[in-house]
Amino acid sequence: MIPQIILKPGLAIPRLIRGTWQMHERAGKLDEAALFAELLAGYDLGFTAIEASDSYAGVEETLGRFRSYLLQKRGKEALQNLRIHTRVTQSGAATLSSHDIAASIKRSLARLGLQQLPLVQLQWWNLALPGWREAAATLGRLQQQGVIADIGLTNFPTPQMQQLLQDGIPVLSNQVQISLLDPRTGNGLAQACQQSGVNLFGYGPLAGGFLSEAWLGQPDPGLEPKAEKPFGKVYRQLIERFGGWDWLQTLLQTLHRCAESRHTDIASIALAWSLRSSGVTALLVGMSSPQRAAIYAKTAHLGLDDRDIAAIAAILAQRGPISGDVADIERSEMLAAIQASYQGS
């Protein structure tokens, strides 16, 4: 079973949260019977928390049907133990009004078949737009009404998170990208979360696959993805910012040696490091295959000894200084795309 961690008195979740980005990507092409069997197997391994989003096509509806399936297969207690986190998402050039947010919450409740959402995370991509403080206040009012149990954030930089805390918003968590390739939480956010009691959730712990054997010993693919060798552009930019391709290869070689000594793989070592050394409360992990849940559950118990940690730390010490706040590259890319769309219209 996956170890659990206490978020606040009376509330514990597994340290690994199942992400649903792959479900979103395969919307309309899913074998629902196979998916439900996979979700059930994951639940039995301890994946009792699942991450959804109002912006993921069909995911909330699918998880709502899975809740009925879980009730049928495992009973009422299992259904009560299942936590589905979701988001309210602002993107593009349009702001979100209080009415928009309330409507989003109402849709999520209906899709999931719930009377109360366990955790709603505010994701406000375009912080140049006003309204994010008002959006958080709206979530606060919905929490007081009992529609939402807890409020979280996604990709909120340190100053904006602190502003919401000053506004009296009871922020339970802030979910940002964290991995061996992404140390941006070390530029203030991790410390701010610790001081304020906000739980730090991490996504992208394998950096879009760069932290795996697939890239060990490979030549530099450049900064732009190619059809024959696709990759996440943001992850490649992070490599360039904090160390470069040669540095990544040195890191992968070190992780590979650690993995060989433990009869596992690079991804498992990278995930184990993030659970131990990054300051996260819990990590989101995607499921690219039905076998991943069992692999991740095993990894959650993989201990790294002092020698492993020292070897990895020596490589991390060689990278460039930590710069930027969380999601700054992602936000810059999005704003540039918005500007380009206006210029082209």
DSSP of 155-217 = S--HHHHHHHHHTT--EEEEEEE-BTTB-GGGGTHHHHHHHHT-EEEEE-TTGGGTSSGGGTT
Cβ neighbours of residue 4 closer than 8 Å, sequence gap 6 or more: 12, 13, 14, 15, 46
What does the pLDDT read at residue 337? 64
Q: Kindly state the average pLDDT of the residues 335-344.
A: 55
The number of residues in the chain equals 345
- In the three-class reduction of DSSP (H, G, I as helix; E, B as strand; rest coil), residue 6 is classed as strand
What does the pLDDT read at residue 340? 55
Confirm if 125 and 90 have CB atoms less than 8 A apart: yes
Cα distance between residue 326 and residue 176, in whole Å: 7
* Closest alpha carbon to 233 in 254, 265, 204, 256: 204
CB burial of 103-137 (b: ≥16 within 10 Å; e: otherwise) equals ebbeebbebbbbeebbbbbbbbbbbeeebbeebbb
Mean pLDDT (the chain) is: 94
The Cβ of residue 335 has, within 10 Å, a number of other Cβ atoms equal to 16
User: Does 148 or 303 have the greater pLDDT score?
Assistant: 148
Name the region of 248 (left: φ>0; alpha: ψ -120 to 50; beta: rest). alpha
Whole-model pTM? 0.95
Span 24-52, pLDDT tens digits: 888 778 899 999 999 999 999 999 999 99
Q: Which domain holds residue 14?
A: 4-344
Q: According to the per-residue pLDDT averaged within each range, which of 191-200, 301-310, 328-337 is highest?
A: 191-200
- In the three-class reduction of DSSP (H, G, I as helix; E, B as strand; rest coil), residue 89 is classed as strand
Distance of CA 93 to the CA centre of its chain: 23
Span 65-76, pLDDT tens digits: 999 999 999 999
The Cβ of residue 217 has, within 10 Å, a number of other Cβ atoms equal to 9
Residue type, 242: F
Q: Token digits for 130? A: 């006003």
The Cβ of residue 343 has, within 10 Å, a number of other Cβ atoms equal to 7
Confirm if 264 and 292 have CB atoms less than 8 A apart: no
- In the three-class reduction of DSSP (H, G, I as helix; E, B as strand; rest coil), residue 151 is classed as strand
Span 100-146, pLDDT tens digits: 999 999 999 999 999 999 999 999 999 989 999 999 999 999 999 99
Strand partners, 201: 175, 282
Number of domains into which the chain is organized: 1
CB burial of 270-301 (b: ≥16 within 10 Å; e: otherwise) equals bbbbbbeebbbbbbbbbbeeeebbebbbebbe
Span 145-200, pLDDT tens digits: 999 999 999 999 999 999 999 999 999 999 999 999 999 999 999 999 999 999 99
The Cβ of residue 149 has, within 10 Å, a number of other Cβ atoms equal to 14
DSSP 321: P
Confidence class of residue 18 from pLDDT cuts 50, 70 and 90?
Answer: very high
Q: Token digits for 70? A: 């879980």
Q: What is the CATH number of the domain that holds 97?
A: 3.20.20.100
DSSP 289: S
Could you give the dihedral angle defined by the CA atoms of residues 84, 297, 154 and 248, in that order, rounded to the nearest 10 degrees? Answer: -160
